[in-house]
């Protein structure tokens, strides 16, 4: 059965026989609960090609480190020793290896999904899985590419999570949404062999399907816990790096967090996008790129609009005035708005800087 599914999957992704690709309402059905079980070899994603790579944090001489004999995964073999699904992960179709572009697959998928009830669909792919040894603990860190509708050459956002992060998300959503979550499966815990290539490959596909199914249910897609799962760890790390002056590293995390929020939407309001833009503006200023910093301020001011004063409004206006002056650009409108806020007693003179507010912000 697994070999037949893999054969149909390759043909569907290659476009050789579109008639066999899953379309219509049946393609949107959730799998049976057994489909995502660790011991079931048929829990395959029918929408993503496999480019999963495995790396281990330590060499194989650490085999005896775990009491139950669990070891980091070896690269998936390409011969008879690999199961059908594992071999598909280790070798991309037509001999292509590693980071095969997903653009054509995404375009085909969005064409098929154009008339579904979900207007914006995200695709998830576990692109790597690393065994991390942080004594006394040992765990697998899964890196996922998150891609949404947009230009085919746009780089995907990426997040790295471990099994316990997925399990916590599943548990929290089950408590809040018993009805919708009843149809969504999750890979169960194992007492042994958690670090084998076979287990990691099956869990990787299960995580891809798990997130795809959550995104397909509007009630779950807007849940705060799901938004926190994607964005909150990135924001915390970016804030920490910014506070310690590691602006190059922080800039990459702020940019990734912004891309995630752009793709996910902002059902929880503008606070996190504004904080992300503040982080981007601060890093660009510190790295001597005033043009990009000013563009971030302008985007934030557009988000704020003419609503009631937000704690970040005056700092963004002050930064925009200063950067506009530095670049020789028009700053009169921002100056007038800032002066009006100060005259109304809604902000101190001078207002706090974006960096000061960023350092004091508590992310929960």
Q: Where are the beta strands (DSSP E) in 109-203?
A: 123-134, 137-147, 157-162
Per-residue pLDDT of the chain (364 residues; tens, 9 = 90+): 445 545 554 555 455 444 433 334 333 444 433 334 434 333 333 333 344 544 544 433 333 333 333 333 333 333 333 333 333 333 333 333 344 445 455 555 444 544 443 445 789 999 999 999 988 889 999 999 998 876 666 788 999 999 999 999 999 999 999 999 998 999 988 767 788 899 999 999 999 999 999 999 989 998 999 999 999 999 999 999 999 999 999 999 999 999 999 888 866 678 999 999 999 999 999 999 999 999 999 999 999 987 678 899 999 999 999 999 999 999 999 999 999 999 999 888 889 999 999 989 888 7
What mean pLDDT value characterizes the chain? 75
What pLDDT is recorded for position 28? 40
Q: Give the burial class of 194: count Cβ atoms within 10 A of its Cβ; 0-12 exposed, 13-18 middle, 19 or more buried.
A: buried
Q: Give the number of residues written for the chain.
A: 364
φ/ψ of residue 221, rounded to 5? -60, -30
Q: Quick check: 8 and 186 in contact, CB under 8 A?
A: no
What pLDDT is recorded for position 324? 97
What pLDDT is recorded for position 327? 96
What pTM value is reported for the model? 0.69
What pLDDT is recorded for position 37? 41
Strands 157-162, 53-56: pairing is unpaired
Structural domains of the chain ordered from first start? 123-222 (3.30.1520.10), 231-360 (1.25.40.10)
What pLDDT is recorded for position 76? 31
Q: Quick check: 173 and 228 in contact, CB under 8 A?
A: no
What pLDDT is recorded for position 85? 36
What pLDDT is recorded for position 23? 39
- Distance of alpha carbon 146 from alpha carbon 208, whole angstroms: 10
Q: Give the burial class of 244: count Cβ atoms within 10 A of its Cβ; 0-12 exposed, 13-18 middle, 19 or more buried.
A: exposed
């Amino acid at each position: 059965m697994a070999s037949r599914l893999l054969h149909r999957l390759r043909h569907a992704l290659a476009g050789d026989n579109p008639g066999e690709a899953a379309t219509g309402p049946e393609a949107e059905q959730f799998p049976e609960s057994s489909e995502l079980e660790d011991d079931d070899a048929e829990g395959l994603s029918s929408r993503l090609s496999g480019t999963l790579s495995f790396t281990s944090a330590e060499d194989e001489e650490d085999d005896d480190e775990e009491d139950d004999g669990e070891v980091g995964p070896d690269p998936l073999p390409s011969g008879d020793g690999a199961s059908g699904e594992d071999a598909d992960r280790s070798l991309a179709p037509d001999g292509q290896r590693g980071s095969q572009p997903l653009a054509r697959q995404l375009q085909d998928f969005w064409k098929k999904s154009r008339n579904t009830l979900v207007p914006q669909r995200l695709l998830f792919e576990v692109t790597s899985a690393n065994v991390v040894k942080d004594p006394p603990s040992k765990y697998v860190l899964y890196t996922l590419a998150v891609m949404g509708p947009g230009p085919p050459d746009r780089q995907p956002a990426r997040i790295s999570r471990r099994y316990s992060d997925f399990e916590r998300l599943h548990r929290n959503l089950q408590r809040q949404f018993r009805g919708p979550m009843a149809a969504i499966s999750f890979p169960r815990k194992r007492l042994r062999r958690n670090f084998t290539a076979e287990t990691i490959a099956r869990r990787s596909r299960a995580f891809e399907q798990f997130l795809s199914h959550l995104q397909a249910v509007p009630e779950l897609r807007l849940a705060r816990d799901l938004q926190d799962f994607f964005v909150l760890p990135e924001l915390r790390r970016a804030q920490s790096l910014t506070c310690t002056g590691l602006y190059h590293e922080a800039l990459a995390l702020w940019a990734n967090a912004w891309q995630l929020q752009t793709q996910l939407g902002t059902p929880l309001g503008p606070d996190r996008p504004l904080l992300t833009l503040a982080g981007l503006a601060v890093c660009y200023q510190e790295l001597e790129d005033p043009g990009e910093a000013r563009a971030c301020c302008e985007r934030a001011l557009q988000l704020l609009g003419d609503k009631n004063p937000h704690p970040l409004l005056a700092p963004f206006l002050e930064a925009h005035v200063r950067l506009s002056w530095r670049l020789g650009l028009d700053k009169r409108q921002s100056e007038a708005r800032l002066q009006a806020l100060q005259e109304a007693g809604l902000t101190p003179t001078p207002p706090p800087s974006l960096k000061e507010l960023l350092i004091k912000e508590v992310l929960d």
